[in-house]
Amino acid sequence: MSFRLSRRQILSGMAALGVSGGGVRNAFGQKRLIIPEGDFAPLPIAIPNFVAGTPSDGDVAVGVTQVITNNLKRSGLFAPIDQAAYIEKVVNIDAAPQFANWKTISAQALVTGRMTRQPDGRLKAEFRLWDVATGQQLTGQQYFTQPEYWRRIAHIISDQIYERLTGEKGYFDSRVVFVDETGAAERRVKRLALMDQDGANVRYLTRGTDLVLTPRFSPSTQEITYMEFGQGDPRVYLLNIETGQREIVGNFPGMSFSPRFSPDGQRIIMSLQQGGNSNLFVMDLRSKSTTRLTDTPAIDTSPSYAPDGTRICFESDRGGKPQIYVMPATGGPAQRISFGDGSYSTPVWSPRGDYIAFTKQGSGQFSIGIMKPDGSGERILTSGFHNEGPTFAPNGRVLMFFRDPGGNAGPSLFTVDISGRNELRVPTPGFASDPAWSPLLS
């Protein structure tokens, strides 16, 4: 009978030996010195311009570097070091950098990369992320793409760096659909628009002849559902952003509004108006069957699915003032979760499932806040004359919303960390409102 040790057994045995070895070491008087919590600090990171594989790749190499630098800087978690301070010029990413040169400028991480046009016309992007202190390569990838998608490559690399250095998923390779607003306040033209999360690559999806509101991404990121005031009642539409094909969701007698996709993309949940009331309905996109979820003499609207699809949160004034309720996705008893002063609206469930963001109105101010799905831990992130319509980044760490300063000025988009830090304006061509963040594109 042969006695064999599996690989796992050997490993666990070695681990046990290591543990006992540590114990012996400690028995010989090794002091354990507690370093209690320090302050959070953005990580100093050096991102020298990517190397151009061929002389004609210089522009795109610099462009990718700038996009990455901008992404990491805007996240608030990194402090990119000014290129003017760099001592070493990276000319070859296949050799290890001289880390002493990067330590001198206090960089703790270093990104090197190269952009090379391939003989077949594609663009090859390579990057390496280095830990300056240990000299270790933390991650490294190469990608091939069509040259016109160089910005996406930059976003994907940004996500890789973000994830490796923070332990969280990134959110840079994502898009935002929003309502672009132009013209005077009384004759405002509203068009659906699509852009990268950093404000680049704006595309218009509608012509502005009809009023559009509340666009929402499908999980596939290929479709958008929104509400449009057409010739008759406002209706919920479904738009394929690649083909431009558009269809009405369902054929209901009254107004339908505030649509949102289910996490699996198979259903759309929305409000249907019936007299003075509105109730929540869900429609299966394949079978076109519709299911009623609420039946109250009140206004139930702004439904949003939990990421696991088992529950929904929505806004209802069944208790008098608009408040946030949570109930099973198949209908059933709803539980009120918002109990603060004022009224709560536009709830949206985080993709991580840990928080519900909302707009809170009270004391003459509109605030953006978050609370846990059980209603605890309410936290106001920003307040002012008019802040509304929060939407979560794909990693659930950042919120985008729109802010209207009042007067003749129009609304614009802002992002804020869910801790309330790092509030930043998102560049848009004109006024902008009703943002909806897509899931990660890749």
Could you say which residues in the range 400-419 bind another protein, by CB under 8 A? 418-419
Decide if residue 165 touches another protein (CB under 8 A): yes
**Which residues face 325 on adjacent strands?**
314, 336
- CA–CA distance from 412 to each of 325, 365, 401 (Å)? 28, 17, 8
Find the shortest distance in angstroms from Cβ 246 to another protein. Answer: 39
Could you say which residues in the range 368-397 bind another protein, by CB under 8 A? 379, 397
Decide if residue 294 touches another protein (CB under 8 A): no
CA distance 350 to 336: 18
Decide if residue 367 touches another protein (CB under 8 A): no
Could you say which residues in the range 31-50 bind another protein, by CB under 8 A? 31-44
| DSSP state letters, 356-415 | EEEEEEETTEEEEEEE-TTS-S-EEEEEES-EEEEEE-TTSSEEEEEE--STT---EEEE
**Interface with another protein (CB under 8 A), residue from 55, 167, 297, 364:** 167
Residues 204, 180: contact at Cβ < 8 Å?
A: yes
CB closer to another protein out of 251 and 376? 376
Could you say which residues in the range 61-90 bind another protein, by CB under 8 A? 77
Strands (E) in 54-184, as ranges, are 78-80, 109-117, 123-131, 136-145, 175-182
Angle 150-166/58-75 helices, nearest 10 degrees? 40
Could you say which residues in the range 87-106 bind another protein, by CB under 8 A? 103
CA distance 313 to 390: 14
CA distance 229 to 112: 50
Decide if residue 275 touches another protein (CB under 8 A): no
Find the shortest distance in angstroms from Cβ 386 to another protein. Answer: 25
**Interface with another protein (CB under 8 A), residue from 139, 166, 240, 365:** 166
Query: In 3-state terms, what secondary structure has residue 255?
Result: coil
**Interface with another protein (CB under 8 A), residue from 88, 168, 210, 423:** 168
Decide if residue 336 touches another protein (CB under 8 A): no
Nearest-CA neighbor of 427 among 228, 132, 202, 134?
A: 202
Find the shortest distance in angstroms from Cβ 33 to another protein. Answer: 5
Decide if residue 265 touches another protein (CB under 8 A): no
**Interface with another protein (CB under 8 A), residue from 88, 163, 210, 423:** 163
Binding window for another protein (CB under 8 A); candidates: 22-30, 178-186, 218-226, 286-294? 22-30
CB closer to another protein out of 165 and 293? 165
Decide if residue 23 touches another protein (CB under 8 A): no
Helix (H) or strand (E) holding 212: strand 211-217
Nearest-CA neighbor of 258 among 289, 281, 241, 290?
A: 281
Decide if residue 354 touches another protein (CB under 8 A): yes
CA distance 191 to 178: 8
Report the relative pairing of strands 256-261 and 246-248 from DSSP bridges: unpaired
CB closer to another protein out of 1 and 33? 33
The identity of residue 245, as a single letter, is Q
Decide if residue 29 touches another protein (CB under 8 A): yes
Binding window for another protein (CB under 8 A); candidates: 21-29, 119-127, 202-210, 336-344? 21-29
Query: What is the contact surface with another protein in residues (CB under 8 A)?
Result: 22, 25-26, 29-44, 77, 103, 108, 131-134, 138, 163-168, 354, 379, 397, 418-419
